[in-house]
Amino acid sequence: MKNMLINRISVLILIFVLLSGCASSGSLQITKPSTITLSKFKSLLINVTSEVPESSKEVMMLSGLLLAKLQERGLFENVASANFSSNTEAELVLNVNLIDIRRVGEVTRFLLGALAGQAKINANAELVDLNEGKTIGKFTAKGLSSGGTIYAGHTSQAIERISEQITEFVQKSM
pTM here? 0.81
Number of other CB atoms surrounding residue 59 within 10 Å: 19
Residue-level pLDDT at 63: 98
Residue-level pLDDT at 20: 45
Confidence category of residue 87, pLDDT binned at 50, 70, 90: confident
The stretch 136-146 carries a mean pLDDT of 88
CA 73 centroid distance within chain? 17
d(CA 85, CA 49): 14
Q: How far apart are the first and last CA of the chain?
A: 65
Q: In terms of DSSP H, where are the helices of 99-154?
A: 106-112
Query: CATH for 22-172, among 1.10.3210, 3.40.50, 1.10.10, 2.40.170?
Result: 3.40.50
Contacting residues for 114 by C-beta, under 8 A, at least 6 apart: 18, 21, 147, 148, 149, 150, 152
The stretch 108-128 carries a mean pLDDT of 76
Domain spans of the chain? 22-172
